[in-house]
């Protein structure tokens, strides 16, 4: 799985993850989400190593929706 949990675009041209949850908070949240999703689907959801360095190659086909708060820029 690949998740971006929180990013700020307030400054510069790259997102910052400075205010994102730390590993000790985000890992249990991720695991709980996967457990609840598996229960809701009635089957095991595949997972990987949280926070792993990944080399990803893909072809995007379709639109992407990014929600941005234009007042707070976060």
Q: Is the pLDDT of residue 71 over 60?
A: yes
Q: Based on the residue annotation, tell me whether 4 is a catalytic residue of this protein.
A: yes
Task: Tell me, rounded to whole angstroms, the distance of Cα 44 from its chain centroid.
Answer: 19
Beta carbons of 3 and 47 less than 8 angstroms apart: no
- Our separate counts of H helices and E strands in the chain read 1, 0
Q: What CA–CA distance (Å, rounded) separates 20 from 5?
A: 7
Q: What CA–CA distance (Å, rounded) separates 44 from 38?
A: 5
pLDDT band at residue 52 under the 50/70/90 scheme = confident
Which of 4, 18, 65, 70 is catalytic? The answer is: 4
Residue range 51-56: average pLDDT? 75
Q: Tell me what the pLDDT averaged over the chain comes to.
A: 76
Q: Based on the residue annotation, tell me whether 3 is a catalytic residue of this protein.
A: yes
Q: Based on the residue annotation, tell me whether 35 is a catalytic residue of this protein.
A: no
Q: What is the pLDDT of residue 6?
A: 64
Which of 2, 18, 65, 70 is catalytic? The answer is: 2
pLDDT band at residue 30 under the 50/70/90 scheme = confident
């Amino acid at each position: 799985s690949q998740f971006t949990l929180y990013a700020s675009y307030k400054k510069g041209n790259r997102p910052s993850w400075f205010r994102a949850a730390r590993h000790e908070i985000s890992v249990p949240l991720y695991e709980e989400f996967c457990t609840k999703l598996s229960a809701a689907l009635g089957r095991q959801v595949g997972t990987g190593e949280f926070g792993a360095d990944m080399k990803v190659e893909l072809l995007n086909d379709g639109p992407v929706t990014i929600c941005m708060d234009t007042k707070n820029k976060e």
